[in-house]
Amino acid sequence: MLFVYDSGYLYRYVDKKELCFILKNGVVYSITNPRGTYWTTLLTDDSVIASNLLAIKKTELFRIGGFRLADVDPRHIKYTGIVKPSLGFPGGAIEILIDIPLPILTIYDLINKQLISSEMSEIFTAISKLKC
């Protein structure tokens, strides 16, 4: 079932390498961007739509998130805008740059259409399933 929604929640779409890094650290934050981590309010279970609207090219795609945007202190929101076209993708989703780590609430595998984890206690199970 195709699902696309601009929610009031924050999501990050990542590949397996980034997901394993996040699982091992227990929070979501960027180690390559000193300004913070990009998030989106786009909620979809379709990898093609996620790739198109977020202008990302990944063969494995996982959605992490479910953190309420309203619960983020506005002082930590460094940028809000629209994803620009890139890599042949149109972009168009909302993107938000946040300068603090956020917790992992859910992990969904967009390729295999399955929920991997929905609680912190399931993180160790997710690490072993993914062979991180």
Q: What are the tens digits of pLDDT across the range 46-56? A: 999 999 999 99
Q: Domain of 60: which CATH number?
A: 3.20.170
Residue 84's domain comprises: 4-130
Residue 76 or residue 129, greater confidence? 76
Q: Is the pLDDT of residue 88 over 90?
A: yes
Can you give the pTM of this predicted structure?
0.88
Chain mean pLDDT for the chain: 88
The answer to whether 98 and 77 are in contact (CB under 8 A) is yes
What b/e sequence results for 14-34 when a residue is b if at least 16 CB atoms lie within 10 Å of its CB, and e otherwise?
A: bebebbbebbeeeebbbeeee
E strands, the chain, are: 4-14, 27-28, 37-44, 62-68, 77-82, 94-98, 102-103, 106-109, 114-117
pLDDT of residue 60: 87
pLDDT (average), residues 78-105? 94
pLDDT range class, residue 32, cuts 50, 70, 90: confident
pLDDT range class, residue 82, cuts 50, 70, 90: very high
Taking only the tens place, the pLDDT of each residue in 116-130 is: 887 666 666 776 677
pLDDT of residue 7: 80
pLDDT of residue 2: 47
Total domains, the chain: 1
H/E run at residue 89 = none
